[in-house]
Amino acid sequence: MSATIEEIMAAYEGQYPGRVHRQSTVPFSGSFGHYYFLSIFPTFENLAQITDQSQRAEVTLFQINNAYVIYVGNPHYATATFAIPVRDPEHRIVSFRWIAHTHPLDAAHRDEMISHGPTQSDLDALRTISARWGQSDSQIILCRGGRVERTVSFSLPPDEQVRP
């Protein structure tokens, strides 16, 4: 039996006190460094809106067991560093999937350029996820002003994919 949303939230709350929230509606305005747990699947348009309403911070969507989790990155950097769980039978974390993350194109004034494809950080995160969970692909949502401009799928080369 896998851990419930409440049990996963409690585990995250122990690691990130005050930065873990149950969210019942989308879109919303998030705070950077915070995790928002949902029982509904947010659309990519919702993620673009959350990005815009969260000071154009990169927003990451992943799934742990049956919980959808949104992590809001720091609006001053074009990257989001989120915690990737390990397989943990004791805490009944049995599945993880990095679904997508945003690249806010209208944040280009903060950085020289916002990537229209995977960055080295994106690929490094996917390598870690591949080693822990066997996932070798994800998606980038290129957005501006709360709207999706396009999505970009990316994956690891076959020789870098790991099956745990």
Domain range annotation of the chain: 5-160
- Judged against a pLDDT cut of 90, whether residue 153 lies above it is answered with yes
For position 126, what pLDDT does the model report? Answer: 95
The mean pLDDT value for 97-123 works out to 83
Position 21 scores a pLDDT of 97
> How many Cα neighbours within 13 Å face the side chain of 53?
11
For all residues of the chain together, what is the average pLDDT? 90
Distances (CA, A) of 67 to 20, 35, 37, 51: 13, 12, 7, 20
Nearest residue to 64 (alpha-carbon basis) of 1, 5, 127: 5
What pLDDT sits at residue 122? Answer: 93
With a cut of 90, say whether residue 96 has pLDDT above it: yes
Q: Closest Cα partner for 125 from 69, 91, 80, 89?
A: 80
pTM of the predicted structure, to 2 decimals: 0.91
Which residues lie below 8 Å from residue 145, measured CB to CB, with a gap of 6+?
52, 106
The whole-number pLDDT of residue 109 equals 58
The number of residues making up the chain comes to 164
pLDDT at 111 over 60: no
Per-residue pLDDT, 163: 76
| Residue 30 token pair | 């998030």
Identify any residues that bridge with 20 across adjacent strands, giving them in sequence order. Answer: 35
Residues 6+ apart with CB under 8 A from 2: 65, 66, 92, 93, 94, 95
pLDDT band at 149 (very low <50, low <70, confident <90, very high): very high
Percentage above 90 pLDDT, the chain: 73
pLDDT-derived band at 161 (thresholds 50, 70, 90) equals confident
